[in-house]
């Protein structure tokens, strides 16, 4: 296929350092190929169209939309956005959701990293069983035991408190955190910890000074997962937070839209507003996220 002159002598190894060579040959071929480019564009369009449609519809008036579903905005208006934003108490909701999401992230990362540290360094029987106990909790849908949780929080007087919701989310996300952190800790050479011990550092110091910084890729991945999952969740705040002032973005959006007849000019702005903070985070951390989503998962 390729002429002999293109084959460079290898000294073995992975595709990393050679990627530029490979990439340039491939992408030159691929990028030039018109059908491929066309397919790519169709792909993007197919995926992004619902969003484009949402944006376009949000910028039009209700009458416009009712008359012509697929038209572009002729006189774009932000009225829908501002109306919906006020209807769902946007600033307050965002603040509430940020607090809950942030709180969950902190609790999960700290507790998960510590647990991963302990489980990753120990190989005794009980640690394997503890690890397994955590892992089996990974795929559990929360609403499966919403009722006992509700009763439990009520008995603990944590019903209707943001703290209670943070605890619930944290417990729910702990298995994934323990899974990732344990796998990652196991790949850290033991000498690092021992060197710290020789220097007189206790367990806590060793953890914070040596291990935790090394766990940063896992932490980054985890933060992204948790943020998306908690931000977008409806069930937990719906059930556990009754006070309207405490409501999250999703809950408010849901109560706005929960009627038989949903107007597109309410629906699409609400969806976009709900997604906006995540989009901002995505725009900033996009490279980390893609790396995280693919790389972090494979470490285990």
Partner 1 sequence: MPMRTRIRTRTRSRTLLPFLLPAIGLYGLLMVYPLVRSISLSLTDSEGGPDSDFIGLANYREMLHDPAVRPALVNTLVFTVIVVLAQNAIGLALAALLRRWGAYGKALSVVLLLPALLSSLMASYIWSSLYQQDGAVNSLLNATGLGSLRHVWLGDPSTALYAIAVVHIWMSVGFAAAIYAAGFRTIPEDVLEAARLDGANRWQVFRKVEWPMLAPSVTVAVTLALFGCLRVLELPLVMTQGGPANATDTLGLSIYRTVFDSGNIGYGTAQSVLLLVVVTVLVTASNALLRRREGRVQ
Please give the residues from 161 up to 220 whose contact with partner 1 meets the rule CB under 8 A. Answer: 167-168, 170-172, 174-175, 178, 203, 207
Nearest-approach distance from CB 147 to partner 1, in angstroms: 5
Nearest-approach distance from CB 250 to partner 1, in angstroms: 6
Give me the residue label for tokens 């021992």: 194
Size of the residue set binding partner 1 (CB under 8 A): 102
Q: Which of residues 75-104 bind partner 1 (CB under 8 A)?
A: none
Q: With CA atoms as reference, report the closest residue to 25 among 44, 6, 41, 9.
A: 6
Nearest-approach distance from CB 223 to partner 1, in angstroms: 14
Distances (CA, A) of 252 to 79, 201, 206, 255: 19, 49, 44, 5
As a whole number of angstroms, the distance between CA 283 and CA 118 comes to 35
Q: Which of residues 137-166 bind partner 1 (CB under 8 A)?
A: 137-141, 143-149, 151-152
Could you tell me the two tokens for 120?
């990753």
| Contacts (Cβ under 8 Å, ≥6 apart) of 4 | none
Nearest-approach distance from CB 49 to partner 1, in angstroms: 8
103 neighbors 167 (Cβ within 8 angstroms): no
Nearest-approach distance from CB 75 to partner 1, in angstroms: 21
Nearest-approach distance from CB 33 to partner 1, in angstroms: 9
DSSP secondary structure, 23-63, as one string: HHHHHHHHHH-HHHHHHHHHHHHHHHHHHHHHHHHHTS-HH
Work out whether 15 is an interface residue with partner 1 (CB under 8 A).
yes
Site string for partner 1, 259-278 (x = CB under 8 A): ---x-x--xx-xx--xx--x
Site string for partner 1, 22-61 (x = CB under 8 A): xxx-xx-xxx----xx-xx--xx--xx-xx-xx-------
Q: State the sign of the Cα–Cα–Cα–Cα dihedral 128, 132, 138, 141.
A: negative
The residue within the footprint of partner 1, chosen from 102, 201, 254, 255 (CB under 8 A), is: 254
């Amino acid at each position: 296929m390729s002429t002999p002159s293109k084959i460079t002598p290898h000294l073995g190894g992975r595709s990393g350092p050679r990627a530029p060579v490979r990439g340039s040959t491939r992408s030159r071929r691929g990028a030039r190929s018109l059908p491929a480019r066309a397919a790519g564009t169709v792909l993007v369009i197919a995926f992004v169209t619902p969003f484009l449609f949402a944006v376009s519809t949000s910028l039009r008036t209700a009458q416009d939309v009712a008359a012509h579903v697929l038209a572009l905005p002729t006189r774009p208006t932000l009225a829908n956005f501002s109306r919906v934003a006020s209807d769902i108490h946007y600033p307050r909701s965002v603040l509430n959701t940020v607090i809950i999401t942030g709180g969950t992230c902190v609790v999960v990362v700290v507790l998960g990293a510590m647990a991963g540290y302990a489980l990753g360094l120990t190989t005794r029987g009980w640690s394997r069983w503890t690890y397994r106990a955590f892992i089996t909790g990974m795929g559990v849908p929360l609403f499966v035991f919403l009722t006992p949780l509700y009763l439990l929080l009520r008995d603990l007087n944590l019903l209707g408190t943001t703290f209670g919701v943070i605890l619930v989310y944290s417990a729910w996300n702990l298995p994934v955190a323990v899974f990732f952190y344990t796998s990652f800790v196991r790949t850290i050479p033991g000498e690092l910890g021992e060197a710290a011990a020789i220097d007189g550092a206790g367990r806590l110091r060793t953890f914070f000074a040596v291990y935790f910084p090394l766990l940063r890729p896992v932490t980054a991945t985890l933060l992204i997962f948790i943020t998306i999952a908690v931000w977008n969740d409806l069930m937990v705040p719906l059930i556990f937070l009754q006070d309207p002032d405490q409501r999250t973005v999703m809950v408010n959006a849901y109560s706005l839209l929960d009627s038989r007849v949903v107007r597109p000019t309410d629906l699409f702005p609400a969806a976009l507003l709900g997604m906006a903070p995540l989009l901002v985070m995505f725009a900033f951390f996009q490279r980390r996220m893609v790396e995280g989503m693919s790389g972090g998962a494979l470490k285990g």
